[in-house]
Amino acid sequence: MYAVKLENRVAVITGAASGMGRAMAKLFAAEGAKVVLADIVADSLQQVVAEIQSAGGTARGVVSNVAAQADVERMIDTAVAEYGRIDILCNNAGVMDGMTAAADVTDDLWERVFAVNVTGPMRAIRKVLPMMMEQGQGAIVNTASVGGLHGSRAGAAYTASKHALVGLTKNVGYQYARLGIRCNAIAPGGVETNIMGSHPQMDMTALGVQSALAGMAINPRTGQPEEIAKVALFLASDDASFVNGAVIVADAGWTAY
């Protein structure tokens, strides 16, 4: 009988109430991890916690807005208080920008997208690193995007934020490698989640949606959240012990064209 991949590990996963975060939480729990789920949507969050517990897993939900430093602190503190340590951090929460072109980006939109997509992950990483350094091991998995590797898969704010997250991933991955800590990112392509609803007002102009979605015709297919969760499991587990500072593209070959 094969051992589970995350036995006795403690994992914190943001954006865990739906989509890829939900799939990660359920898969990690099935693989033996004690999971702390964070999300801003309380009802959906508790539903996922209940699903994990009913399947025999160990889970705790913390209602958190990753754009708020106090919430990030409380999320991490809850995990440590509940389970004594943190082995895995998955910065999965993210928001879109309505495909808004640069000339139309407001300060509010820019700051909101960066607060969730970059500053939140930075604060969570900053909080867990001393704990992981003391333990001598830890795995950080950031959900980036093919938009963080290319120029027009979304609007200006989202594209810039995901490029920044990729840079943060590489920086942390290298600088903390000798301390037993790995930091990697996943760059999903089109995945069937509700993230588009995170900014319902779409820029329908030629410089907005029309430019951002110009390449959709060559996309072989969209993915399922569970497919991304499997990549996250690999990166969080010892199977990826030699993988660090990497960005794993999971897009059915879309960006290979």
What's the average model confidence in pLDDT over 107-117? 98
What DSSP character marks residue 115? Answer: I
Q: Say what the pLDDT of residue 205 is.
A: 67
pLDDT band at 72 (very low <50, low <70, confident <90, very high): very high
For residues 155 and 104, the answer to whether their CB atoms sit within 8 Å is: no
**In the predicted model, what is the mean pLDDT of residues 246-256?**
97
Q: What is the pLDDT of residue 207?
A: 66
DSSP E strands, 3-137: 10-14, 34-39, 58-63, 88-91
Class of the CATH-defined domain 10-256: alpha beta
Res 213: pLDDT: 75
Question: What is d(CA 149, CA 234) in angstroms, rounded to the nearest whole number?
Answer: 21
Residues annotated as catalytic are 158
φ, ψ at 204 (rounded to 5°) = -90, 10
The pTM for the full model equals 0.94
pLDDT in tens, 194-241: 665 555 566 666 566 777 777 888 999 999 999 999 999 999 999 999
Distance CA 176, CA 156 (A): 30
